[in-house]
Amino acid sequence: MRRIHVGNALSAFGLGFTVPYLYVYVAQVRGLGAMTAGLVLAVFAVAALIVLPFAGRAIVQRGPLPVLLAALVVAALGSLGLGISGHAWTVMVTAALLGAGQAVMQPALATMIVECSTTETRSRAFAMQFFLQNLGLGVGGLIGGHLVDTTRVSSFTLLFAIEAAIFLLLVVLMATVRMPHAPHIEDAPAGSAQAGWKQLLGHRVMVQLCVLGFVLFFACYGQFESGLSAYGVEAAGVSTSTLGTGLAANTLTIVVAQFVVLKFVERRRRSRVIAAVGLIWAVAWAAAGYAGLGHGSRELATAAFVSTYALFGLGEAMLSPTVAPLVADLAPEGRAGQYNSAFALVKQLALAVGPAVGGPMGASLPAPYIATFVLFSLGISVVALRLGRRLTAVQDRPWSARTRVVARGGLPAEPVEPVAAEA
């Protein structure tokens, strides 16, 4: 588990190390223009959407570790290729490789956490994963920003080469991991992938959780760097430094509060924790509304806007030990990889749609923008409470499990002797 967490931290570090500077690199440093840079970012996201359904099938059939190793090699090739690419088509191809590789890493690592944890330890394991991901993203972005120089192509080449080296180092590290035995569908028939997706889509609780997940990611992550930023600049009149302070407050809240929050949520119903996050985010959006639409002083408006990001961070810290373990507990035996990939796909869709909707709306329709996302946040609470009625006792209250056997797919765990459960 320690090695898996190191893998999470380093993969997040690599993402924060280069992706924030991808637009500047393509448009300005390589001189390919804003249009090409926009297409590269689109290709980066679309590649993730394309590969995730296949990643779920591969994890189910081969296990998460081989899929992770392949994704790391693909991401390393993409990163190294980006650093030496000078033409539009090579930049797009290598960006697709990097985007696909990084997208597959997350469900593979999440499935490894599932297979190395129990119902009792899973919430803490996913909380640690989220903590290290945010720490890795923040440190990676900070170091990467000090290494690059827009007047020197070589500085970006070095940046992407370091990222490729990190991924290859992870290949060596993760190759030493010995996973516990877990059921995988090694010799699945040709139609098993379609059957697996049909089974997932027929799982009403999982579909409802995916809808809830889409709204969660759309109303939070999908607005961070687009709609909320546009609203802050245009309606609230905040400076770019205030935006940076808000993002720093978000990360700091997660880092400081993660394990304090974990103690609170571990013994709470998962559905009620998610519902509480909806209420917290409704308050966050109301604070953003005050910052841009209220008539207070500039200092109060700035404080309210920064508090919006901090409240989002508090909600994220509550979700990390709640939603991912719930996805794992809903998955039937041997299908955790497919369920993790499906949920990652939902997240990618929300991150693609969120900026497209929120950016223009936040800049030109500030009042409807705030009202819309206050309602979205309250909707999260309603949907979460309805979801709670469909969950089994072990899925909604994992601490109530009397054995270490994970209840999957809505089926209660069979009682077993403690010695057998440990074995």
At 124-151, the pLDDT tens digits run 899 898 888 888 887 887 788 778 787 8
Whether 420 has a pLDDT exceeding 70, the answer reads no
- Nearest partner of 395 among 129, 203, 107, judged by Cα: 203
Over residues 254-266, mean pLDDT: 88
Whether residue 360 has pLDDT greater than 50: yes
What is the 3-state secondary structure of 68-97? HHHHHHHHHHHHHHHHHCCCHHHHHHHHHH
Q: How high is the mean pLDDT of the chain?
A: 83
Give the pLDDT score at 413. Answer: 42
* Res. 227: pLDDT tops 80: yes
**Per-residue confidence (pLDDT) for residue 277, from 0 to 100:** 96
pLDDT of residue 193: 54
pLDDT digits (tens, 9 = 90+) for 52-96: 888 888 888 888 999 999 999 999 999 999 989 888 899 999 999
Both tokens assigned to 238 = 């905040």
Distance CA 228, CA 285 (A): 9
C-alpha–C-alpha distance, residues 40 and 93, integer Å: 9
In percent, how much of the chain has pLDDT > 90?
31
Contact status, residue 358 vs residue 227, Cβ threshold 8 Å: yes
State yes or no: pLDDT of 257 exceeds 60. yes
pLDDT in tens, 320-343: 999 999 998 898 877 888 898 899
Angle (CA) 138 324 190, round 5°: 115
- State the DSSP string of 314-336: HHHHHHTTTHHHHHHHHSPTT-H
Helix then strand then coil, in percent of the chain rounded to 5, is 80, 0, 20
pLDDT at 160 over 60: yes
pLDDT at position 182: 57
Amino acid at 355: P
Q: What pLDDT was estimated at residue 187? A: 44
Residue 417 confidence (pLDDT) above 70: no
Rounded average pLDDT over 256-271: 88
- Give how far the C-alpha of residue 23 lies from the chain's centroid of Cα atoms, to the nearest Å: 21
Which one has a higher pLDDT value, 413 or 312?
A: 312
Residue, of 345 and 193, whose pLDDT is higher? 345
pLDDT score of 335: 82
The predicted structure's pLDDT at residue 172:
92
**Residues whose CB falls within 8 Å of the CB of residue 263, separated by 6 or more in sequence, listed in order:** none
pLDDT in tens, 202-225: 889 999 999 999 999 998 888 876
Q: What is the mean pLDDT of residues 354-367?
A: 84
- Where residue 101 falls (left for φ over 0; alpha for ψ -120 to 50; beta otherwise) is alpha
Q: How far apart are CA 95 and CA 78, in angstroms?
A: 6
- pLDDT at residue 184, as a whole number: 53
Q: Check if the beta carbon of residue 308 is closer than 8 Å to that of residue 287.
A: yes
Q: Using 50, 70 and 90 to split pLDDT, how confident is the model at 97?
A: very high
* pLDDT above 90 (res 279): yes
pLDDT, position 407:
41
